[in-house]
Amino acid sequence: MIAALRSGVAGGRLSGLLLVALPVALLIWLVLWPVLQAIVGTVYFPGTGFSTASYAYFFTDAYSLRNLWLTLWVTALTSVLRVAVAMPIALYLRFRSGPVAALVQALALFPMFVPSVLVAYAFIRVLGPNGIVDTILVALHLPKLASPYLTPAGPIIGLVWDGLPLTLLLLLSGLGRVSIASVDAARDLGAGSFTLFTRIILPRIQSSIIVTLAFNVLGLFSAFTLPFLLGPASPEMMGPYMQRTFSDNADPLNATTQAVITFAFCAAFGLIYVRAIAKGRKAPA
């Protein structure tokens, strides 16, 4: 879109607009319109007028707030863990090549092709009670693992693994902007690995990290399968909670209210993402 507008020629502008017309129309029809419907549907009731009672209920209901709080901290912790785990792999892949690097890359990207239901069941077989890890520990005469299955740690471990490939790819594309020459120059001047990372690499990939975090937050906020299969019954993450409110309690009003609140948080992170992109565009490439 930006490229087409930048061309400055009237014909190019028109064809650019035509090119984006379809996705924009889809966005309005499938995303913005339902969002608007949801917001209006939770505050305006034909016949009785405006009421924000369902929002007041959500923000005074300790149970709902606990679920929201759990979602926030699981999202924050998982996003940070994903970047922390993916960063060393990304650095390794950026500055090394050869068969070992290719193998590392293949292994790190593998979770992308595994559906999360399979991740959940594999997790139970490996890290669950009397799973493979326990079998190995017992064979070595070590105490059994305190299994993370059905604890808050369960979904976090599952989600970190599941989201590793996307995080890695985003960080790798950011690291592509760090020239090997500047790294070599800093090394020649006597910079250690830590200095190199904090003074040369980190400033160049700051916006990539923000983009990565924003992407992760958006995905994690609506995570359903892994929190549902691996996590505790309560507190629930917003995904399972919304589903349960909607279908088991047959309560579309409160379910929609939960969805709008979740959307508001995601929209805030979406804004951070858009700003990071815009900043990246302005900065000389």
Partner 1 sequence: MNRREFLMASAAASLAASTRFAAAATKLDLYTSSDANISDFFSNVVKPAFEAANPGVELNVVIARPAAALDAVVQRALAALASKSDPQLDVIEQYEPMLPAGGIEAGLWTDFQKAGLANYGAVNKLAIQTAYGLPYRGSQVLIAYDSTKLPKDKAPKTFADLVAWIKANPGQFIYNRPDKGGSGGNFINRVVHEVSGRDPQKFKVDNFNQATADEVLAKAWAVLNDIAPSLYEKGAYTSGNSASLQLLAQGAVTMIPAWSDQVLQAIAKGVLPETTGLVQLTDLALCGGFSQAVVPTNAAHRAEALKFADFMLSEEMQTAVIEKLGGFPGVDWSTLPQALHDKYADVIPSSIPTFPSGEWTKAVQDGWYRNVAPNISRT
52 closest CA partner among 40, 34, 37: 40
Residue (of 227, 243, 177) closest to 204 by Cα position: 177
- The reply on whether position 139 binds partner 1 by CB under 8 A is no
User: Toward partner 1, which CB reaches closer, 162 or 236?
Assistant: 236
Work out the angle at residue 74's Cα, subtended by the Cα atoms of residues 72 and 76, and round it to the nearest 5 degrees.
65
The stretch among 16-24, 41-49, 77-85, 145-153 that binds partner 1 (CB under 8 A) is: 145-153
Cis ω before 155 (30° cut-off from 0): no
How far, in Å, CA of 208 to CA of 212, rounded?
Answer: 6
Binder of partner 1 out of 35, 246, 253, 272 (CB under 8 A):
246
Pick from 248, 282, 283, 284: which binds partner 1 (CB under 8 A)? 248
x-or-dash pattern for partner 1, window 54-83, by CB under 8 A?
A: ---------x--x-----------------
197 near partner 1 (CB under 8 A): no
Instruction: Say how many residues touch partner 1, by CB under 8 A.
Output: 23
Which part of the chain contacts partner 1 (CB under 8 A), choosing from 43-51, 159-167, 198-206, 245-253? 245-253
Residue 163 touches partner 1, criterion: CB under 8 A? no
Which one of residues 89, 124, 171, 201 is an interface residue with partner 1 (CB under 8 A)? 124
- In terms of phi and psi (left: phi > 0; alpha: psi -120 to 50; beta: otherwise), the region of 47 is left
Taking the complex as a whole, the smallest distance from the CB of residue 152 to partner 1 amounts, in Å, to 9
133 binds partner 1 (CB under 8 A): no
Of 101, 151, 183, 186, the residue at the interface with partner 1 (CB under 8 A) is 151
By CB under 8 A, which span of 21-29, 48-56, 76-84, 231-239 interacts with partner 1?
231-239
Query: Based on CB atoms, which residue is closest to partner 1, 232 or 270?
Result: 232
249: contact with partner 1 by CB under 8 A: yes
Q: Should residue 235 be labelled a site residue for partner 1 when binding is judged by CB under 8 A?
A: yes
Nearer to partner 1, 205 or 223 (CB): 223
List residues near partner 1 by CB under 8 A.
Answer: 63, 66, 124, 128-131, 147, 150-151, 228-229, 232-236, 244, 246-250
